[in-house]
Amino acid sequence: MNKIYKLCILLLLTFSAFNLNAQNTATVTATNFEIINNGANFRFDVHALRTSAAPYEVGFATFVMTYAPGALNNAVISNENPRFNSGSYGPMTSAVFFGQQVALQINYTGGAGEELSNVPGPTGFGERMGTITMDILMNVQANLVWDPTSSDIVTPTFGTVMSTYNGNYNGTLPVELTSFVSNISNNNVTLKWSTSSELNNRGFDIERKSGSDNAVWSKIGFTEGNGTVNEIQNYSFKDQNLTAGNYSYRLKQIDFNGNYEYFELQNEVIIGIPQKFELSQNYPNPFNPSTKINFSIPADSKVSLNIYDISGKLVKSLINNEFKSANYYSVDFNGSNLSTGTYFYSLISGSNTDTKKMILIK
């Protein structure tokens, strides 16, 4: 009798362990939180990753997050995962409830469902289900967090999927940017922007990218913010000595807690080719030991840029009869191997020539 009892207990434990191992599980993550359109909209992605060993199909799924009452509205879905938005699935939907909840819904319509992937992918969070974009209505802490009791994934046969929900956003919504414009002078760009109010604002990274297909954003400067203020603040930043081409700019506003949001310049900045031959005064001048020489040529030509001492002796050839396209150029000169004194730099481009004086002081 005792042996039978022990055998029953062993079978029960084995069956329980089998059920535990067979449990369908997933991790759902909200990520890529971003404030866009000069503070008008808030955007984030929802990803899902199968974490159980055995595959399973997705039936209906609802992902719900709560936020500060009245802070956001008008949820719009984009980047819908095509695997869960066609075939056995109707169009994905999004909705706002009670002025403080946003939901993304996968709508299963019948037939063979799609298996949820267990591949983390480049983000580490699995496949993206969709992107939610909302209007920002209030300048408050977002307090965007998951509502696990309202969120759910079930299989086509209504089997349960035990899900873990990660990724909350407690940043500020937002610094109120009222304008962001650009002015162009030759190959220099001045960016100007204004805020009507600021909350916990540490400052702005200024970022730029060129118009090429593979261009990436790069930081080119930083301007300090004004903390918390409720009156208009004006800012400016000058980006100098650009080559001809198309450029985009954006501001990365950062608060003292490390939260950030982006504001993109709506227009593309176009630097055209120079209209005239010009050799600029070196800067700095006097210098020790390095300085920068800027020049522009309005037509393709061979170019020479040489450095001479006070007696007219050639001491350095920076550009030696090289072919250059019409553009703006900037050349660095290091005089660490020269003695203190007056020097001349001369530019030759086609039939154009110009010479200027510079002073090296050690």
Per the DSSP assignment, residues forming a β-bridge with 104 are 63, 94
Average pLDDT over residues 130-144: 88
Torsion, Cα 115 121 124 126, to 10 degrees, reads: -20
pLDDT: which is higher, 30 or 258: 30
CATH topology classification for 25-172: Immunoglobulin-like (2.60.40)
Please determine, for residue 264, whether its predicted confidence score (pLDDT) is greater than 50.
yes
Burial of 233 (0-12, 13-18, 19+ CB in 10 A): middle
Whole-number Å distance between alpha carbons of 93 and 85: 10
SS3 content of the chain, % helix, strand, coil (to 5): 5, 55, 35
Separation between Cα atoms, residue 174 and residue 75, nearest integer Å: 18
Instruction: State the Cα–Cα distance between residues 357 and 308, nearest whole angstrom.
Output: 10
pTM (predicted TM-score):
0.51
Report the pLDDT value the prediction gives residue 35, as an integer from 0 to 100. 85
CB-based contact 333:291 (threshold 8 Å): yes
Does the pLDDT at position 302 exceed 80?
Answer: yes
| pLDDT value of residue 14 | 40
d(CA 153, CA 44): 20
Read out DSSP for 188-226?
EEEEEEEEEEEEEEEEEEEEEEESSTT---EEEEEEEEE
- For the chain, the domains span 25-172, 175-271, 278-360
CA distance 273 to 107: 54
Residue 233 has pLDDT above 60, yes or no: yes
Average pLDDT on 350-360 reads 96
Q: What is the mean pLDDT of residues 268-293?
A: 95
Q: Which of 122, 113, 120, 135 is nearest to 43 (CA)?
A: 135
Per-residue pLDDT at 118 exceeds 90: yes
45 or 231, higher pLDDT:
45
pLDDT in tens, 90-117: 999 999 999 999 999 999 999 999 999 9
Rounded to whole angstroms, how far apart are CA atoms 334 and 111? Answer: 73
pLDDT value of position 174: 64
Q: Does 171 or 188 have the greater pLDDT score?
A: 188
- Across the chain, what does the average pLDDT equal? 90
**Residue in this structure with the two tokens 């118009």, named with its chain if needed:** 211
**Cα distances (angstroms) measured from residue 250 to each of 38, 100, 104, 199, 311:** 10, 30, 29, 20, 49
Better-scored residue on pLDDT, 133 or 229: 133
Q: Which CATH architecture has domain 175-271?
A: Sandwich (2.60)
Residue pLDDT, tens place only, 56-94: 999 999 999 999 998 899 999 999 999 999 999 999 999
* Predicted local distance difference test score (pLDDT) of residue 219: 97
Which CATH architecture describes the domain 278-360? Sandwich (2.60)
Domains 175-271 and 278-360 share a fold: yes
Helix, strand or coil for residue 84?
helix
